[in-house]
Amino acid sequence: MNIQEITPIVIYDNACHLCIKFANTINFLARGKFALVGHYTEMGEKIKKEYLDSSATDMFWYVDGKTAYGGRSALFPLFYGILFSKRNDSFQTSVEESCNVGCKAPKAVFVRSASLLTNSKKIKIN
pLDDT in the model for residue 54: 85
pTM of the shown model: 0.85
**Contact between residue 49 and residue 106 where contact means Cβ atoms under 8 Å apart:** no
Q: Which residues of the chain have a pLDDT value below 70?
A: 1, 88-106, 109
Q: Which residues contact 126 (CB under 8 A, 6 or more apart)?
A: none
pLDDT in the model for residue 89: 66
